[in-house]
Amino acid sequence: MSEEINIHDYNIKDVVKDMAKSLNVDFDETATECCFRLPEKVGSGYVRAFEFDFGLGVVETDYLLKEELRIALEKGVIHPLKIMFNRQSGFYHKFEDDKEFTEIKRLENSIASSTSKNNHVFRIPADIPICIFSIEINRKLFEEKIESFLNEMDEDLVTLFRDVNGINQFYYKSYYSLEISKFMEEFTQCELTGFMKHVYLEGKVYEILTHQLQQYLDDLKEPQKRTILRKATMESMEEAVAIIEEELDSIENVVDLAKRVGLNQNTLQQGFKQLYKTSVNEYIRNFRIEKAKELLETSTLNITEITYKVGINSRSYFSKLFKKRFGISPKQYLDQSRNKKEDNKSA
C-alpha cells in the first residue's frame, strides 16, 4: 500500500510545510529554515529546508518510511531546477508523462528540470533508509546572481540556467564525486547557530553546486579524458585493494579484478593512478614486496616460502624486485633481521 501527497516547491519552505500538512504533523520554522519530524505512524526521521538568497535552497531528507510514499509536485507551474544527491538507498523519479520511473541509486545524483505541463513525480520506498540532499534553484531569481558570468560559462550550462521559464525538459544522472560527498557531510554536520550557521551553509551549497557543474562538464568528455573521481568509484577501488590484500597469493589479472568490483579496466586503472599515483599492477607488485619484507622480519618462513606466499612464482624474479626496492637481496635482509633479533635477545 502506498500514500500519495501533492506539494508546492516554488518557495523552498513550502516543500516542508506541504509534506507536514499532508502527514498531519507540526513543523518548526525560522527566517531561513523549516523542519518537521515524521510521525511515528508514518516512520522516523526528518525533512528540512534551507532558504538562501537569489532563489537558492536545499531540501534535506533523512528518514525511514513504514509505507511507500509517492510525491507529486504541483501542476501547471515552473518548478526549480533540482540537483539531487542520493546518500543512501535508491529512490525513484519520473516526469508525469513518462511511463516508467528511473531509479536514482546510492551515490548517484541527477539534475532535473521539468516543464509546466510535465511535472516531477517521486516514489519513495518503505523499510529502507532514505537520505537525499537536493539543491533547488529558482532560475528566474538566480539569473541575477550569474548574469555577469554567463558570457564566460560553458554553452551547455548557459542553456540550462537561461531556461528561466522551464520550457525545456532536462535530465542528467551520474555518480557524484568525493569532494561533493565531503561537502555534504560538512553541511549536515554543521554545529554553528544563527548568522554564522546560515553563512557557513550557504558557502557549502555553492561549493557543492560548483563541483557538480564541473562534474557535469567532465561527464561530457570521453570516458578516458575524465578527471573527476567519483565516490562510487572510490568505494570500488577500496574493495579492489581489500581483495588484493586478502588474496595476494592468488590475485587474478586486472580485467578480472575490475569485473569483481563492478568497474571496467580503464576506470579502475584511472582511479588507481589518481588515488595511489600508480597502476593496478604496480600497486600489486609494490604491496607484494612490502608484504614480503614484513614476512622476512616477523615469520619463520624461508625465502622460497615467502616468495610463493606473496604470489610470485619465481625466486630469482622476487630477488630482483626486492633488491630494486630496498637496495639489498632478500637473503641479506633476512640475515640482518635475524641477527638483529639475536642481538636483542642477548641484550
Closest CA to 4 of 49, 18, 82: 18
Q: What is the mean pLDDT of residues 165-187?
A: 92
Q: What is the mean pLDDT of residues 246-259?
A: 88
**Residue 131 pLDDT greater than 60, yes or no:** yes
Q: What is the pLDDT of residues 223-245, one digit of tens each?
A: 778 788 788 888 888 899 999 99
Q: How many residues does the chain have?
A: 347
Instruction: Give the confidence band of 342 by pLDDT, cuts at 50, 70, 90.
Output: low
SS3 state at 79: coil
The per-residue DSSP string of 123-136 comes to: EE-SSS-EEEEEEE
- For the stretch 109-131, what's the b/e string if a residue is b when 16 or more beta carbons lie within 10 angstroms of its beta carbon? bbbbbbbeeebbbbbbbbeeebb
Instruction: Give the confidence band of 18 by pLDDT, cuts at 50, 70, 90.
Output: very high
Looking at residue 232, what is its pLDDT? 83
Instruction: Give alpha helix (H) positions in the chain.
Output: 12-22, 139-146, 155-162, 178-188, 194-219, 231-246, 254-260, 265-276, 280-298, 303-309, 315-326, 330-346
